[in-house]
Amino acid sequence: MIYAYIENLNGKYKNSSIEIVSYAKNIADAQGDSVIAITFNAEDSPEILYKYGADNVYNIKNEALKNFDPKVYASLISQLIEGNYIIFSHSDESTSIAPFLVKEKEAVYITNVVSQPLSFSPFKVKRNIFSGKGIAVVETSNPFLIITVALNSTGVKENPVSGREINPLITIPDDSPYKVESIEESDSKIDLKEAKIVVSGGRGMKGPENWGIIEDLAQVLNAAEACTKPVSDMGWRPHSEHVGQTGKNIAPKLYIAIGISGAIQHLAGVNGSKTILVINNDPEAPFFKSADYGVVGDLFEVVPKLTEKLKSFINNKKI
Ligand SMILES: Cc1cc2nc3c(=O)[nH]c(=O)nc-3n(C[C@H](O)[C@H](O)[C@H](O)COP(=O)(O)OP(=O)(O)OC[C@H]3O[C@@H](n4cnc5c(N)ncnc54)[C@H](O)[C@@H]3O)c2cc1C
């Protein structure tokens, strides 16, 4: 059996979870096996998961599971699995749960995977290393594998099956050492990790009073907002927007970097983006080396003009 852990946000499946089902389905087809999707307190229809190849969906609904607790979640998943592949997203949530399962099942743990399996015996796959600067091919003959797949790295493929929802019998453990003391809600309307477009600002923005420039562009593009570490360290923006080696790892279709120099620690969190546009007044800024498109200019002139042009382009298209 191939298991796919399905993350949801307020009951709605995350886009990354659809990628995980597609990944699991690909392995299932190659192995002549089937896919079981496991999720907690989802409100979305399981039909969405059937469409991408989940033969069975375990949706464990319980008020006691409302607050995320990696140890409890791992314990419940452990009660449900009998197969030898468990596929997770390479996300904060999944990488908090997976290590508990690895320990319990004495599994091999392959993280940050960026390819479909290259072979099955031995199992061989590509994974990101050195903060995305390199790719390693790893192999194992261990029969029990727990895999985390990098965001937007292997794609989504429709593969409809006539699935069914199952309510399995489980025992919720009550001895977790985790206690939720407070919950910080992000004020962003669009989840940064799920966003197709991200508009990001750095120290070149000069101060938080200028952030309206980023917000206006993000609004026109229906994009999420992000920032560099110094920007969040200085309190210009919340830490939930900080991307990079010590912040969130994102892989949108388009990343627009405004007034950001492109330090290696910043690139580590964004170099999975499909297309990168850099706006910077220093032609020597290192970020231009990683950019698909670059504008050398003063962001305070360039960005408002870009926003206006996009606004009129979108309005004209609507007419
Ligand atoms: C262990 C460690 C971990 C780190 N983790 C992270 C991380 O996760 N994420 C992260 O972002 N950083 C991280 N950093 C910090 C990183 O090294 C850089 O210092 C940081 O990314 C720089 O932020 P910045 O680009 O906003 O600022 P700067 O490097 O100061 O760049 C500002 C840019 O704005 C441009 N600019 C200025 N004025 C204008 C204008 N008017 N118009 C257009 N452009 C303009 C400048 O030319 C410059 O390129 C880490 C550092 C360490 C040591």
CA pair distance 254, 251, nearest whole angstrom: 8
pLDDT at 188 over 70: no
Domain identity same for 14 and 149: yes
pLDDT tens-place string over residues 3-61: 999 999 889 999 999 999 999 999 999 999 999 999 999 999 999 999 999 999 999 99
Q: What is the arithmetic mean of pLDDT over 243-254?
A: 94
What mean pLDDT do residues 63-85 have? 91
Give residue 130's pLDDT.
85
Question: What residue ranges in the chain does DSSP mark as E strands?
Answer: 2-5, 8-9, 12-13, 35-40, 56-60, 85-89, 108-113, 119-120, 123-129, 134-140, 145-149, 164-166, 197-201, 224-227, 254-258, 275-280, 293-296
Mean residue pLDDT across the chain: 93
Residue 252 within any structural domain of the chain: yes
Establish whether 258 is an annotated binding residue: no
pLDDT > 80? residue 165: yes
Quickly count: other Cβ atoms within 10 Å of residue 250's Cβ: 23
Q: What is the DSSP letter of 14?
A: P
Model pLDDT, residue 180: 76
**Ligand 1 atom nearest to 202, measured from its CA:** 26
CA-proximal residue: ligand 1, atom 29 (nearest)? 261
Task: Please indicate if the annotation marks 31 as binding a ligand.
Answer: no
Same domain, 244 and 306: yes
Percent of the chain with pLDDT over 70: 98
Residue pair 32/65 in contact (Cβ under 8 Å)? The answer is no
pLDDT value, residue 97: 96
In this structure, what DSSP letter does residue 248 have? B
Give the number of domains in the chain: 2
CA-closest residue to ligand 1 atom 53: 265
Same domain, 147 and 217: no
Cβ(165)–Cβ(156) below 8 Å: no
Instruction: Check pLDDT > 80 for residue 178.
Output: no
Rounded CA separation 154/289 (Å): 25
Are residues 22 and 154 both part of a single domain?
yes
Same domain? 137 vs 201: no
- Other C-beta atoms closer than 10 Å to the C-beta of 222 total 12
Domain stop point among 144, 166, 188: 166
Same domain membership, residue 154 and residue 9? yes
pLDDT of residue 132: 78
For ligand 1, atom 47: residue with the closest CA: 282
- How many whole angstroms from 235 Cα to the centroid of ligand 1? 15
Q: Is the pLDDT of residue 255 over 70?
A: yes
Asked whether the predicted pLDDT for residue 226 surpasses 70, the reply is yes
Residue ranges around ligand 1 (CB below 6 Å):
202-204, 228-231, 244-247, 259-261, 263, 265-266, 269, 280-282, 285, 298-300
| Ligand 1 centre distance from Cα of residue 230 (Å) | 7
If asked whether residues 147 and 36 sit together in one domain, one would say yes
Q: Please give the Cα distance from 173 to 291 (Å, whole number).
A: 49
Q: Do residues 73 and 212 both lie within one domain?
A: no
Is residue 242 marked as binding? no
Q: At what angle do helices 70-80 and 92-105 cross, to 10 degrees?
A: 50
Which domain does 214 fall in, by range? 197-318
* 211 and 147 together in one domain: no
12 with 101, same domain: the answer is: yes
Residues contacting residue 149 through CB under 8 Å, at least 6 positions apart: 19, 20, 23, 87, 88, 89, 90, 113, 114
The Cα diameter of the chain in Å comes to 61
Q: Considering the domain boundaries, does residue 87 fall inside one? A: yes
